[in-house]
Amino acid sequence: MAPPDDARSVVTANQTTSRPGQSGYHSPFQPVANSLNRVTETPFFFAREDARLFGILHLPAGTAKPLAFVMSHPFGEEKLWSHRVFVSCARALAAHGHAVLRFDYFGAGDSSGLSADASLESHREDLRAAIGALEQRAPAIEQIGLIGLRMGATFAALLAESNVSPRLAGAPLVLWDPILDGDAYFQELLRSNLSTQLAVYGKVVDNREVLTARIRAGGSVNVDGYEIGKGLLDSCGVSTLLTTDAKRHAGPALIVQIAATEAQKERAELKALAASYGQGTLARAAEQPFWREIKPFYPRASQLQELTLRWLDEVTGAPAVAPLETAASGG
Amino acid sequence: MQQPGDVSAVTFTSSEGNTLFGTLHLPAQVREDLPVIVLLSPGVKMRVGPGRLYVPLTDSLVEMGYRVFRFDFYGLGDSSGELQETMLADVYNNIEVGRYVADSRSAIQWLRQNTGAKKFILGGLCGGAITALLTAEREPDVEGLLSLGMTVTLASNAATPAKYLTRQQLDSRRQGYYRRLLQPMSWWRLLTFQSEYGVIWRSMKRLIIKEKPIAQAAPVAATAEQRGNANPLFPPAFFAFLKRGGRALMLFSEKDRLQSEYEEKFAAPFAEQLQPYLPQLQQHIVAEANHVLSFTPWQKEMVAVSRGWLQSLHGAK
């Protein structure tokens, strides 16, 4: 099919599709009003060069606040495990008056492409395209904040350092458990491949050195169904992926250390990261690692969500909110 | 990378009043004579499946001329609704007893109204497969099941896993213990009460009482105790579907418990009843594959076998 473009994926009152009007098979789609909090949710595809990216726009009832958000999901299977936490948070933000765009990176979710062809650059361009899609669909907004988890937080932090949109400058930046050391992160991912090898072959056939060499040579290695290629490893698998050098981002930044218990010690590198922002704050949230398989069902990270919303209210000068409806953190 | 055909983001309202989100994938040339294939979400993963398993499958089926529909069940993915369970095993268990049949039937109804489809093939991995079967039992227009790792047991009973392990699983566990005999960490776990003593005992007991390990080619029915976690809804639904002429691809992963559970807890004990329907079933085991077919060669084999099965049904290429 021809690559979709923004003109083809404009949301209309009745339909959203990458190629509207081509046939009679499209949904009689209506933006959906979430009955619980009167949030309108609109799924659509948008273009980034020849890639087709999937997004969902959450809009509050009535006039949206001038501050909107783009949410940046983590890499690989972490995205699927944390998906419902993102949905819950987006709905809470929208119920709070903010427009929110969630989207799938190239090679993830419903977007086109393969993870093997992704790189830091492709993620950066995807995030830029998502910001553009939000600006197009909610033109009245004045600022766009970024909220990311794990590697998605890192991508958000890196993009915030560039002047891709005047709406990003001075806007809040929320980093949930960001990845600073990309090398250590990818070594951890490769460990998952070793676990699969152990389970299937009863032994490790290819160790991490072999796997890394394979990728560096232009091949790919599978981690939980996602192929990691040279472009991604070379660009993101570095120990200095997100440094603690002084940042250019002028807006407030919230770095959240997520740990299973509140008693966990403050992580020095996250403290240093927070200090690298002119208006950085480090906070801790007691949550299970909901981005991987755990025994509890985790549709909402209540404490993380609540502290994020409260911090946003503080930095935007919004009136304090009543405690959000919460489920137990573990469930 | 270009994906074949066209895709639309859609929403529809289920019979229970929830708003469900999905994607409808259309080939460049729609063949009205072919059924619509609906891929049902497994477990709590959303409509792309674990490791995006459904994405290459969808692309390949669209390339053959099929219309493919994927959507999120209520309380999961992008859809509305909230689940009340606090533990994953309980979510899985409720899926296995048909929680999402109503949503799946709503999807079929929506497809009837919006694509004109008259016939359907339901597919999915694990929880998606059992949901497909339980839906097919109630929807006569479902002519085929594209089953990836059908589960014939109930997950909540996994609180006492040792009781329900099949012979094949026990043999596999015992081999694993042998391999770890020289690992200090294994001994540490054993001596600090972290090991699964019930599983260790049952796997070793099979040697002590001179019970021969079963041959791969000739599965033996599980004992009544081992069948204690069997899903009572599976046999009647499966036979009802077969009785009316339904066809099924039963694809399993070799290194997945679901394969031995299907053999020992269903196929062997129901062998006589199953016999007349064997021509309607195609069984395939992906060698060495794990539950979610995570490695790319396993995915490719799954896609190729699915294509071949559909080709045998409809001649689509």
Residues 241-270 of B with CB under 8 A from A: 255
Average pLDDT over residues B263-271: 94
Cβ distance B51 to A225 less than 8 Å, yes or no, reads: yes
Tell me whether B10 touches chain A (CB under 8 Å): yes
Cβ distance B85 to A110 less than 8 Å, yes or no, reads: no
Tell me whether B86 touches chain A (CB under 8 Å): yes
User: Per residue in A258-275, pLDDT tens?
Assistant: 998 878 899 999 999 999
CB count within 10 Å of CB B310 equals 24
Where helices occur in chain B by DSSP H, the ranges are: 54-63, 88-96, 101-115, 127-136, 167-179, 184-191, 197-208, 234-243, 257-262, 271-274, 296-314
Count chain A–chain B contacts defined by CB atoms under 8 A: 156
**Pair B41, B47: CB distance under 8 Å:** yes
Nearest-Cα residue of chain A relative to residue B13: A32
Residues 122-151 of A with CB under 8 A from B: none
Average pLDDT over residues B282-286: 98
Cβ distance A25 to B26 less than 8 Å, yes or no, reads: yes
Tell me whether A21 touches chain B (CB under 8 Å): no
Integer angstrom CA distances of residue A72 from A58, A150, B172, B234 = 14, 9, 41, 40
Instruction: Indicate if the pLDDT at residue B258 is higher than 80.
Output: yes
With H, G, I as helix, E, B as strand and everything else as coil, classify residue A200.
helix
Query: Long-range CB contacts (< 8 A, 24+ apart) of A271-276?
Result: A272/A244, A273/A175, A273/A178, A273/A180, A273/A242, A273/A244, A275/A244, A276/A243, A276/A244, A276/A245, A276/A246, A276/A247
Mean pLDDT value across chain B:
89
User: Per residue in B76-121, pLDDT tens?
Assistant: 999 999 999 999 999 999 999 999 999 999 999 999 999 999 999 9
- Residue A252's pLDDT is 97
Listed ranges A36-40, A198-202, B124-128, B157-161; the one with the highest mean pLDDT: B124-128
What is d(CA A151, CA A78) in angstroms, rounded to the nearest whole number? 9
Cβ distance B294 to A199 less than 8 Å, yes or no, reads: no
Q: How confident is the model at residue A13 (pLDDT cuts 50, 70, 90)?
A: very low
- Residue B212's pLDDT is 53
- Residue B221's pLDDT is 75
- Which of A22, A27, A331 is facing B10, going by the closest CB pair? A27
CA of B169 vs chain A CAs: smallest distance (Å): 13
Q: How confident is the model at residue A164 (pLDDT cuts 50, 70, 90)?
A: confident
CA of A1 vs chain B CAs: smallest distance (Å): 6
Q: How confident is the model at residue B224 (pLDDT cuts 50, 70, 90)?
A: confident
- Residue A34's pLDDT is 53
Which has the higher per-residue pLDDT, A16 or B118?
B118
Residues 155-194 of A with CB under 8 A from B: none
Of the listed ranges A94-98, A316-320, B8-12, B114-118, the one predicted with least confidence: A316-320
User: Into which CATH architecture does domain A31-180+243-316 fall?
Assistant: 3-Layer(aba) Sandwich (3.40)
Beta-carbon contacts of residue A87 (< 8 Å; ≥ 6 apart): A102, B77, B78
- The pTM assigned to this predicted structure is 0.86
CA of A89 vs chain B CAs: smallest distance (Å): 12
For residue A54, the chain B residues in CB contact (below 8 A) are 9, 23
Cβ distance B67 to A25 less than 8 Å, yes or no, reads: yes
Instruction: Indicate if the pLDDT at residue B300 is higher than 90.
Output: yes
Q: What is the DSSP letter of A235?
A: H
Q: How confident is the model at residue B228 (pLDDT cuts 50, 70, 90)?
A: confident
- Residue A39's pLDDT is 87
CA of A251 vs chain B CAs: smallest distance (Å): 30
Integer angstrom CA distances of residue B277 from B131, B231, B238, B280 = 21, 20, 10, 6
Instruction: Indicate if the pLDDT at residue B216 is higher than 70.
Output: no
Nearest-Cα residue of chain A relative to residue B298: A225
User: Per residue in A234-262, pLDDT tens?
Assistant: 999 999 999 999 999 999 999 999 998 87
Question: Parallel, antiparallel, or unpaired for β A67-72 and A143-149?
Answer: parallel
Question: Parallel, antiparallel, or unpaired for β A67-72 and A51-59?
Answer: unpaired
- Residue A5's pLDDT is 31
What is d(CA A168, CA B57) in angstroms, rounded to the nearest whole number? 38
Average pLDDT over residues B143-171: 78
List beta partners, residue A279. A252
User: Per residue in A26-80, pLDDT tens?
Assistant: 333 345 555 445 789 999 999 999 999 999 999 998 899 999 999 999 999 999 9
Q: What is the DSSP letter of B287?
A: T
Q: How confident is the model at residue A12 (pLDDT cuts 50, 70, 90)?
A: very low
Tell me whether B311 touches chain A (CB under 8 Å): no
Which has the higher per-residue pLDDT, A305 or B160?
A305
Cβ distance A199 to B255 less than 8 Å, yes or no, reads: yes
- Which of B52, B67, B85 is facing A225, going by the closest CB pair? B52
Residues 128-187 of B with CB under 8 A from A: 175-176, 179
Q: How confident is the model at residue B163 (pLDDT cuts 50, 70, 90)?
A: low
For residue A112, the chain B residues in CB contact (below 8 A) are 1-3
Residues 191-250 of B with CB under 8 A from A: none
Instruction: Indicate if the pLDDT at residue A115 is higher than 50.
Output: yes
- Residue B204's pLDDT is 75
Average pLDDT over residues A306-325: 76
What is d(CA B299, CA B54) in angstroms, rounded to the nearest whole number? 9
- Residue A330's pLDDT is 30
Average pLDDT over residues A162-191: 95
Map out the domains of chain A as residue ranges: 31-180+243-316, 184-236
Q: How confident is the model at residue B42 (pLDDT cuts 50, 70, 90)?
A: very high
For residue B3, the chain A residues in CB contact (below 8 A) are 1, 52, 112
Q: What is the DSSP letter of A322?
A: P
Of the listed ranges A6-10, A187-191, A215-219, B272-276, the one predicted with least confidence: A6-10
DSSP states of B231-275: -TTHHHHHHHHHHTT-EEEEEEETTSHHHHHHIIIIITTTHHHHG
What is d(CA A24, CA B18) in angstroms, rounded to the nearest whole number? 25
Tell me whether A79 touches chain B (CB under 8 Å): no
Mean pLDDT value across chain A:
87
Which has the higher per-residue pLDDT, B27 or B4?
B27
User: Per residue in B194-205, pLDDT tens?
Assistant: 777 777 777 777
**Pair A145, A67: CB distance under 8 Å:** yes
Which has the higher per-residue pLDDT, B175 or A57?
A57
Tell me whether A110 touches chain B (CB under 8 Å): yes
Q: Which tokens in the block code for residue A110?
A: 């419903």
| Predicted ipTM > 0.90 | no
| All structural domains of chain B | 6-157+226-314 (3.40.50.1820), 167-208 (no CATH)
Integer angstrom CA distances of residue A124 from A103, A105, A156, A157, B129 = 13, 9, 8, 10, 37
For residue B173, the chain A residues in CB contact (below 8 A) are none
What is d(CA B127, CA A149) in angstroms, rounded to the nearest whole number? 28
